[in-house]
Amino acid sequence: MHSAAPQQNSDRITELDALRGLAALSVVLFHFSENNKNLLNWDFRFGVTGVDIFFMISGFVIFLTIQKIKRWQDFAVFRFARLYPSFWCCMLVTTIFILVYEPENLNSTQFFANATMLPAYFSEKDLDGSYWTLLVEINFYLWILAVYRIGTLKRIEVIGLAFIILIILFHGFSEHYTGFYKIVADKIQLVNHFPLFYSGILFYQFYKGQKTVRNRIFMLFSLLASFYLHSKGGKSFYYISAIEHYFILAFYHVVFILFINGKLRFLSKWPLIQLGYMTGLAYVMSLIAYQILK
């Protein structure tokens, strides 16, 4: 693999913004078609996997970001500013629709628990089912921040691999601790999706020229681990078969290989880049459409 040269005069990587925009569109189309299946006579069920490439992009970008900070507080403030304002806008839209159409399904405890983006920690449900990915993202932020805080960021490949092995063992022996398993799987949903973030981290290493045999073996193991987790807590399990998911996950890894080799520059078009910049706003608009049409 030959890494693409870092883009000049910008902290952003436009191909990733374009991929993020395409992933957002696929998720929007999935929700729209699923909730209008009878009207449309078809559904874009494969769009449910758009979150998988979001997680890979997040692993790549967050690892890039955390290497640039000097204090862990800077990382926390940056992520707060990036996520919470957009999320609170989404919450406001959702709350308005619930108050208009289903006021009996909302209470103040649920509202404030959701405002933290961690309602599962307060034993409350998400205001909207599509918010589930946010807990996974925050779990990952806390994980990588812990790696940073203990000073082992330079060994993140080995630490990530060890974490994946622990995750596989955790799922594999779940019948021996069913109560504990349910609590962890619900509260720390990163254990259901971590290999995708880890693949993003490894692709960043490839992007920066660390194309070692070891990292390639780790990447293959990460992909196989993501196959294993198909039925262990993600949403794709309910819409597509295991084989279909395997092919799509492999395809997303191929897409990243093309990206780090500079083969996706054709995606760097203004509409896709802008959509990638404004995924929060795009999500608010899609949520409005979803609430109206469901």
Dihedral sign computed on CA atoms, order 177, 138, 254, 162: negative
Report the predicted TM-score, pTM, of the whole model to 2 decimal places: 0.88
What is the SS3 assignment for 263? coil
Q: What is the pLDDT along the chain (294 residues), one digit of tens a residue?
A: 343 433 433 457 888 888 988 888 888 888 888 877 777 788 899 999 999 999 999 999 999 999 888 888 889 888 888 888 888 988 888 888 888 888 888 888 999 999 999 999 998 988 887 788 889 999 999 999 999 999 999 999 999 999 999 999 999 999 999 999 999 999 999 999 999 999 999 999 999 998 899 999 999 999 999 999 999 988 999 999 999 999 999 999 999 999 999 998 887 776 666 665 555 555 555 555 455 445
Residue 275: the pLDDT is 61
Residue 46: the pLDDT is 93
How many other CB atoms are there within 10 angstroms of residue 255's CB atom? 17
CA distance 103 to 90: 17
How many other CB atoms are there within 10 angstroms of residue 224's CB atom? 14
CA distance 25 to 19: 10
CA distance 59 to 136: 12
CB 234 within 8 A of CB 200: no
Domain residue ranges in the chain: 14-293
Q: Please measure the distance between the N-terminal and C-terminal CA atoms of the chain and give it in whole angstroms.
A: 45
CA distance 288 to 231: 30
Residue 184: the pLDDT is 94
R_g of the chain, CA atoms, integer Å: 19
CA distance 228 to 245: 11
DSSP label of 53: H
DSSP label of 9: T
Residue 277: the pLDDT is 57
